[in-house]
Chain A
Amino acid sequence: MNNLIVFPIILPAITAIILIFIGKNALLKRMVAFIGTLITFLICMLLMFKVHQNGPIHLELGNWPVPYAISLMSDGLSILLVTTSSLITLLIIFYSYQSIGIDRERYYYYASVMFMLTGINGAFTTGDIFNLFVFFEVFLMSSYVLMIIGGTKIQLQESTKYILINVTSSAFFVLAIGMLYAVVGSLQMADISQKIKDVDPTIVSIIAILFILVFATKAGMFPLYFWLPSAYYAPPMPILAFFGALLTKVGVYAIMRTYSLFFSTSNEITFNILLMLSIFTIIFGCIGALAYYDMKKIIIYNITIAVGVILLGAILLTKDGTIGAVYYLIHDMIIKASLFMLIGIIIKITNQTDMRNISGLIKTYPLLGWTYFIAALSLAGIPPLSGFYGKMFIVKSLFNTQHIFSAIVVLISSLVVLISVIRIFLYVFFRESHSDYPKVPIHKMLIASVLMTLTAVLFGLFAGDLYPFIESAAKSLYQPDYYIHHAGVK
């Protein structure tokens, strides 16, 4: 029965293989991709309830005993993230029907998306550090393809840079794994976290810094976020929504996991580095979000702000802090997808990305306008909506642990986030209109984005009912022993 946890990984892979072989019929590809993701999502839901009832599920592949097998581990955190990413993929695939264009659909767009979901779900589920690297490469490779698909000039230029950055950071990832293996002699994460206690803390902190370097590049933290704004600017909107919602969050998850399992007991250095980097990530993200009039760039800089906020909560390793981080992580995946989708609709209607050139859209598209308004408030964290609980827990735990400055930075950053997204709302929807925008067919895109925003709103409204799920997810972060115990390590 434990075999169920491989399904979120292999179902998208099988779907992708089918999609490669069914030729150039775009309609058929849409159907297969949608149904494959739907089944994946349903299985994820089933798994989530199983994990919630019976505790984390652990599977040794090939039935080898624990430190020798590649193990898959579905605890509360990973199953929650897997479910969220499957849901987001489902809705963005539906969104793509109208926005990605038939040419890209014919050339393996859906196959790449499914392989990316394979890699992401695998990275969230795996319990083996080298296997984590392999799944990172799986989704990075698909993201290279997605970034370059279509082959416009801007995509060629930016994807060259994106690939080079990621090749370098993957090389350092392999290096870090090599060093970890040299000192610990194991690759299974739970096993490493037991054995690393006997290792000289100086070496452990060097390895920790290497891992932070690697994952901070993937997650877009200061000072390694320099590739992110321009690289994410290049691809078409649905692909950007995938990247913004899912890719950086895998880096965040990897930092949370490795930090809580390996490096939490080593010393203060790792904590201080992560604290400083998170604060600077928030500050520089805020500067970027206020600096531009380009809608895409504003939301892209909001990604970095959220990464900083999540990590500030996660690295405290207190109960409140990790619960806040998990709440905020899930919220941020959903809301970033929904904001990118809504911005995509605006760009499709007006063919503009600069918000100063657009005005008065609320008259022709009221539903779009109000959905965007709700999404914007939710992003900033207005109480009944989804962004509130995460930030509340994070700020509370920052105050409790005497990190007053960080707490104030987080609070001010919410204000900046609100200004940056409401500015788009005021410019695009509420100014006096000088030009009439034609009615373009956007109903499928609109349905997908409204559903995505609705998910965010429901996540906020039922946050109290979801608390047990979030708490069991945070438990393996603030109590690493819980994770280690369930991974079958003696």
Chain B
Amino acid sequence: MEIIMIILSGILISVAVYLMLSKSLLRIIIGTAVISHAVNLLIITSGKLKTGQAPIYDKHIQKYVDPLPQALILTAIVISFAVTALILVVAYRSYKELGTDNITTYKGVPEDE
């Protein structure tokens, strides 16, 4: 089971890298969203995917899944959500101010000479 999850996150990361290397800013942002999914999947996998009950206490249950990675990805999800919201707004504002979506035309710093 872990093997499948690892392959899946590998595919997601390669998709994300491909998207982040493109020119359009929106594709890059989609890439960052995909990479955070891939990473969260890997964290869930890192807690070992043994079969067990959801970690909600009940006295009849003998075996639970590891609750710690779930808490970790909950934190990571809200953080990446906030950053994605910010970067989408920045992209919108950049589009309005600069009139372009192509990141190769972003030449912010003036050259010497």
Contacts and interface: CB of A to CB of B under 8 A. Distances in A.
Interface of A: 130, 134, 137, 141, 144-145, 148, 151, 153-161, 163-164, 167-168, 170-172, 174-175, 177-179, 181-182, 187, 229-230, 233-234, 291-294, 297, 354
Contacts of A177: 43, 72
Contact of A134 (B46, B48, B79, B103): B79
Contacts of A148: 90
Given A164-B20, A175-B39, 20 more contacts: A137-B79, A153-B97, A153-B108, A156-B94, A156-B98, A158-B108, A163-B87, A164-B32, A170-B79, A171-B32, A171-B38, A171-B39, A171-B80, A174-B72, A181-B43, A181-B68, A181-B72, A182-B48, A233-B108, A297-B112
Contacts of A161: 103, 106, 108
6 tightest Cβ-Cβ pairs between the two chains A and B? A182-B46, A157-B108, A178-B43, A157-B106, A178-B46, A158-B108
Nearest to A293: B112
B109 A158 contact: yes
A181 B46 contact: yes
Contacts of B20: 164, 168
B64 to A, nearest CB: 15
A156 B48 CA distance: 42
Contacts of B76: 174
A172 to B, nearest CB: 8
Interface in B25-84: 25, 28, 32, 35-36, 38-40, 42-43, 45-48, 68-69, 72, 75-76, 79-80, 82-83
Given A157-B98, A157-B106, A157-B107, A168 B93 contact: no
Contacts of B25: 160
A167 B87 contact: yes
Contacts of A292: 112
B42 A175 contact: yes
Given A148-B90, A164-B20, A293-B112, A156 B97 contact: yes
13 contacts: A137-B79, A153-B108, A154-B109, A157-B98, A163-B83, A167-B36, A174-B72, A174-B76, A177-B72, A178-B39, A178-B45, A178-B72, A234-B108
B32 A181 contact: no
Interface residues of B, number: 38
Contact of B83 (A167, A178, A354): A167
Contacts of A234: 108-109
A281 to B, nearest CB: 20
Contacts of B90: 144, 148, 156, 159-160, 163
Interface string B85-101: 01100110110011000
Contacts of A293: 112
A158 B103 CA distance: 10
A167 B32 contact: yes
Contacts of B109: 154, 158, 229-230, 233-234
A179 to B, nearest CB: 7
Contacts of A175: 39, 42-43
B25, B72, B93: most-surrounded residue (chain A CB, <10 A): B72
Contacts of A230: 108-109
A141 B98 contact: no
A164 to B, nearest CB: 6
Contacts of B68: 181, 187
B94 A160 contact: yes
A177 B46 CA distance: 9
Contacts of A158: 106, 108-109
Contact of A174 (B39, B86, B103): B39
A153 B87 contact: no
A489 B87 CA distance: 41
Nearest to B83: A167
Contacts of B48: 182
